[in-house]
Amino acid sequence: MNRKKLIYGRGINDVNFHVKVNGKHINSYKVWRSAFNRCYAKNDIGHIRAYKDAEVCKEWWYYSKFLEWYNDNYIGGYVLDKDICNTTNTKLYCPQNCSFVPQSLNNLISNGGVKNSKYTRGITKQKNGKKFKVAIGDGTGGSNKIGMYKTMDEAKIAYKTAKEAHVKSVATEYYTNGKIPERVYQALMKYEVEITD
């Protein structure tokens, strides 16, 4: 195959039907191509940093193979996640690691706390320099204030405790309401925050 026709030098569209309808790519193809973009795009430094060392498994280099998995697992309106059910401890897009989840849940796991903290995510030092404020992201762009703490160590423990409890609470609500499959729920119930975060 001509290398110019490969998706990011790797992906092969090997199906015998059009992946565009009315000039727009079908969703399965967009999701497949997006995984390659996250892993192999060369033009967005911030984007590349967020997905440093991420890869697409060789099985999914073939669109037909990804499509089989997609058809068995896709949930309308959900996004592809490689971290929640990760069984390989790698940043690998593959059947074992991936699942479809609500965008808010994906955000909750991926960014977790208040952005732009120069200390630890979710922790900011107050202007008077005497206390540390802890807040956790809610997955929708907002944050929940947890409290004020005298030391960074106390703040880290508070962040870890609150974040883990919040993720498990959200997971239980989603699962109870039939919004996530059991596999995703079970993985979220084991969710832990590294104390060094």
Q: Compute the average pLDDT of residues 94-109.
A: 94
The residue among 46, 79, 101 that closes a domain is: 101
Last residue of a domain, one of 84, 101, 118: 101
Do 114 and 174 sit in the same domain of this protein?
yes
- Residues 126 and 62 placed together within one structural domain of the fold: no
Q: Are residues 151 and 170 in the same domain?
A: yes
Q: Are residues 64 and 115 in the same domain?
A: no
Mean pLDDT of the chain: 88
Q: What is the mean pLDDT of the segment spanning 50-72?
A: 94
Q: Give the predicted TM-score (pTM) of the model.
A: 0.84
The token pair at 145 is 């204030």
Q: Which domain holds residue 51?
A: 1-101
The reported pLDDT for the residue numbered 115 is 46
Which residue would you say has higher pLDDT here, 139 or 111? 139
99 against 47, higher pLDDT: 99
Q: Is pLDDT at 84 greater than 70 in this prediction?
A: yes
Beta bridge pairs of residue 25: 20
Domain count within the chain? 2
Average pLDDT over residues 30-59: 84
Flag whether pLDDT at 126 surpasses 90. no
User: Are 71 and 4 members of one domain?
Assistant: yes
Is 32 found in the same domain as 72?
A: yes
Q: Are residues 97 and 20 in the same domain?
A: yes
- Of 58, 85, 101, the residue at which a domain comes to its end is 101
Q: Is the pLDDT of residue 112 over 70?
A: no
Q: 4 vs 96, which has greater pLDDT? A: 96
Please check whether residues 65 and 137 belong to one and the same domain. no
Is residue 43 pLDDT above 80, yes or no?
no
